[in-house]
Structure 1
Amino acid sequence: MSDATSPIPVVPAITAANLDTFARVDVLGLEVQAQQVWPDKTILFCKPTLPDNTCPDCGRLGGWHDTFSRWFTHLPVGRAATKLQVSAPRYRCRNCGKVWRHRLRTVAEPRSKLTRSAVWWALQEVVLDHSSISAVAAVLQSAWGTVHDAVTELGQQVLINHPERLDGVKVIGVDEHCWRHTRHGDKFVTVVIDLTPIRDDTGRSRLLDMVEGRSKEVFKSWLEAQTPEFRAGVEIVAMDGFTGYKSATAEAVPDSTTVMDPFHVVALVGDKLNQTRQRVQRELTGGRGRKNDPLYKARRLLHTGIGLLTSRQNIRLDALFAVEDHAEVEVTWGVYQNIIAAYRDKDRAAGRAALSKLIDSIKAGVPKGLAELAQLGRTLHKRRDDILAFFDHPGTSNGPTEAINGRLEHLRGIALGFRNLTNYRLRSLLEAGGFRPQLHSHL
């Protein structure tokens, strides 16, 4: 009985035409001469179908000199690798005597160990199927660096550096992103998102770029590095409460409108509500909240919208606010709920008016001792125009920017972390760049 792990002996490819088509080596300018099948891989013995016998020096024709072999990794069959052993001629020029190899330019890029089809397949796996480089390399039975370099080069060529990738961008979002969680080194980058498809209801947001650092100069430098046509086309910039991004926008794209989106406004008010609750908790108990303290138990309940409260939760809130010492928390909670209600108002004009009135009332004066609410009033008044601009420009929320951040967190988990920001930027643009031609058509 033969060993089940033994390969099928090298045999001629009896149905060569069918095998060429099945293995897709015909598009590489190769034809299969023989094959060998192992449990974990298949080896195809090939030769080029077209000559490369023009002398690179003098341009005259050369003749056969001898034969050499090169190995390539090709498209896998299922999860089993396919290896090509290509036997190609070496030529000698009849005129000048130069000897050169068949360059196999239709098979792979110079010095590449992956066929052109294999590189396209790897790019598809990374971009469309969200596979890690390690997983793709394992299927191809190739080194991580080989696959990474090939995917990066092709991805930059056809996706990241595509001349049309930044066309039609009218609404952008900007935010910070923590790309690594370490004690040393700069942890933050500035991410720039295309929100135009969200505003126009034509698709999803996409990552435009990722720049090291988080400051006014970082964002301003990125804007100024773009073409004048790009800057002229930017109509709206959605951002959080960081004034550096606003200043950069005002200086680099002065004709655009800045919008402080609801996501960050509500988050800002929610932080002030939480700070008020914690301060009152410390004043009443002399320390941090414990699991049986009413204010600590209600920390999540306080951030729930009124319209989403159950009857049981309403009873809990009534009991919480019945305590006179919790009055400051109740006042801040009321502001938080009113801001949410203004954003959720189906009548945008009414919502704008309600929020404008609320900002004025907080700025005019708050109960004594509510330092958190007073500080909130100053911030909202300072960014009043940016906050209210949301109602005049629907679909400009920076929420999709946070969604992109979530996808990048997932990417980092797939790769088990990144140490190199250059690699992280490239993989992030491939993961969330959104500009994806029909990759399948190249396989």
Structure 2
Amino acid sequence: MSHGTFCLPDLSTFTRLDGLGLEAVGQRLELGRAVLECWVAEPDPWCRRCGAEGVPHGTVARRLAHEPFGWRPTTLLVRVRRYRCPDSAHVWRQDTTQAAEPKPKLSRRALRWALEAIVVQHLTMARVAEGLGVACNTANDAVLAEGRRVLIADPARFDGVTTIGVDEHVWRHTRRGDKYVTVIIDLTPIRDGTGPARLLDTVRGRSKAVFKEWLAARPEAWRDGVEVVAMDGFSGFKSAAAEEVPDAVPVMDPFHSVRLAGESLDACRRRVQQDTLGHRGHKDDPLYRARRTLQTGADLLTETQQERLAKLFAGEEHVQVEATWGIYQRMVAAYRHPDRPRGRELMEAVIASLSTGVPAALTELIALGRTLKRRAADILAYFDRPGTSNGPTEAINRRLEHLRGSALGFRNITNCTARSLLEASGFRPQLHPAL
């Protein structure tokens, strides 16, 4: 068996400067940071104007934040040689674009480290700035500019999309200004079984016009390729999709369908609570104590919960709650049935039973029946298209809420969009090929 051998330390390789075209020639520790003195590895003595060989004309220093080592901020002190052309008197510097762009204060390795920290490790921008030893605004501007360049401005991120989900999201909590955005999710990987859902875009506002304008801005070939649009019960999204992608099938996912039934059950419970006891639910009231149990699927109830419901429904005063609870459980059972055709039949039966003949006292079920009848085609379309659900859209919404909390809120919708895409678009940093 061969044994690993050691070689003399190479500071340039260890700090990954060789991929930046730099060579480390010294190091020192300052208060709270390490400083590496570097030279540009390749000389650049040829005049840009006439091609003549220049003569040395002093040096200038350029400071760049570098990726930290051991979480100690590292700064590169790059000595850049200047040259002067003896013929044209033109003065130029060595090319450092391999190490960094002309003006930014972060090296390419620092920028890659920052993107990986935010996208992969989900660190906050403040933590990234601390690791780089720069101001938070400096780190934020550099990361977002690179994110826009490699992600938002990349038209290929819309390629291959056949299934999309749409929902609303609160991007800021303020009394003034629009606090909602419309999020568009690519559900194609979920439907094909090739990976997780990913965020396509966020658009300010939540309305039919917002979603319609976003769809209209996409190329016609792209819109023709969209086969399914998963959405909640908001009719504006359905109308926008019908006008811009008429061949796509709208699907109302189980999450929102069951939520409609759950809201009807809660409304009925509160109404009966008020009618029977004359006040809102208190902790010792039977209906209030059973509010969580009522929202639990029948197949998941424990023996204690089953006994609680049996006792609750024993009296005549709770018969309306029992009837509404029964419809809720029938909808849950239809979605959970392992045989999709049979599940579709069960859902059709629920919609038919609510369409006519519902007692006038069950106002919540009457309203639910009108909604289910109006959206019946969208609800039943779920059973014909396995893997099509707006559930992953809700999951990405939760990730964006976590991002907003980590960032302590956003004030700029552009920055919010860029950070959201970095967080949830499935993007992975791929910068300079040498890195």
TM-score normalized with structure 2 length? 0.95
Q: Distance in 1 between matches of 2:405 and 2:307?
A: 41
Q: Which residue of 1 aligns with 2:4?
A: none
Q: Distance in 2 between matches of 1:440 and 1:371?
A: 63
Pair 1:154-2:146 in alignment? yes
1:29-40 equivalences in 2 (<5 Å): 29-38=21-30, 40=32
Q: Distance in 2 between matches of 1:106 and 1:29?
A: 6
Q: Distance in 2 between matches of 1:112 and 1:438?
A: 18
Say which of 341, 357, 373 aligns to 1:381: 373
Deviation of 1:267 after TM superposition, in Å, equals 0.4
Q: Distance in 1 between matches of 2:72 and 2:417?
A: 30
Say which of 63, 66, 90 aligns to 1:71: 63
Q: Which residue of 2 aligns with 1:209?
A: 201
Q: Distance in 2 between matches of 1:396 and 1:120?
A: 35
Q: What percentage of residue pairs aligned between the two structures are identical?
A: 56
Deviation of 1:168 after TM superposition, in Å, equals 1.2
Identify the range of structure 1 (372-381 vs 63-72) with the bigger mean alpha-carbon deviation. Answer: 63-72
1:273-292 equivalences in 2 (<5 Å): 273-292=265-284
Say which of 189, 196, 207 aligns to 2:188: 196
Q: Distance in 2 between matches of 1:306 and 1:61?
A: 85
Q: Which residue of 2 aligns with 1:7?
A: none
Q: Distance in 2 between matches of 1:442 and 1:256?
A: 43
Identify the range of structure 1 (426-435 vs 286-295) with the bigger mean alpha-carbon deviation. Answer: 286-295
Pair 1:348-2:344 in alignment? no
Q: How many residues align?
A: 429
Q: Which residue of 1 aligns with 2:331?
A: 339
Deviation of 1:58 after TM superposition, in Å, equals 4.6
Pair 1:28-2:20 in alignment? yes
Q: Which residue of 2 aligns with 1:6?
A: none
Q: Distance in 1 between matches of 2:307 and 2:76?
A: 72
Gaps of 5+ in 1: 1-14
Pair 1:419-2:429 in alignment? no
1:153-172 equivalences in 2 (<5 Å): 153-172=145-164
TM-score normalized with structure 1 length? 0.93
Q: Distance in 2 between matches of 1:151 and 1:220?
A: 31
- 1:244-302 per-residue CA deviation (whole Å, 9 max, x = no partner) reads 00000011111100000000000011001101111111111222111111111111111
Deviation of 1:386 after TM superposition, in Å, equals 0.4
Q: Distance in 1 between matches of 2:138 and 2:84?
A: 32
**Alpha carbons of structure 1 residues 328 and 440: separation in structure 2 relative to 1, 3 Å:** farther
Secondary structure in 2 matching 1:52: coil
- 1:227-252 per-residue CA deviation (whole Å, 9 max, x = no partner) reads 22221211100000000000000111
- 1:341-398 per-residue CA deviation (whole Å, 9 max, x = no partner) reads 0111111111101111210110112112111110111110000100000000111111
Secondary structure in 1 matching 2:364: helix
Deviation of 1:440 after TM superposition, in Å, equals 11
Contact 1:160 1:430 in 2 (8 A): no
Secondary structure in 1 matching 2:157: coil
Deviation of 1:105 after TM superposition, in Å, equals 1.3
Contact 1:40 1:81 in 2 (8 A): yes
Identify the range of structure 1 (63-72 vs 376-385) with the bigger mean alpha-carbon deviation. Answer: 63-72
Pair 1:239-2:256 in alignment? no
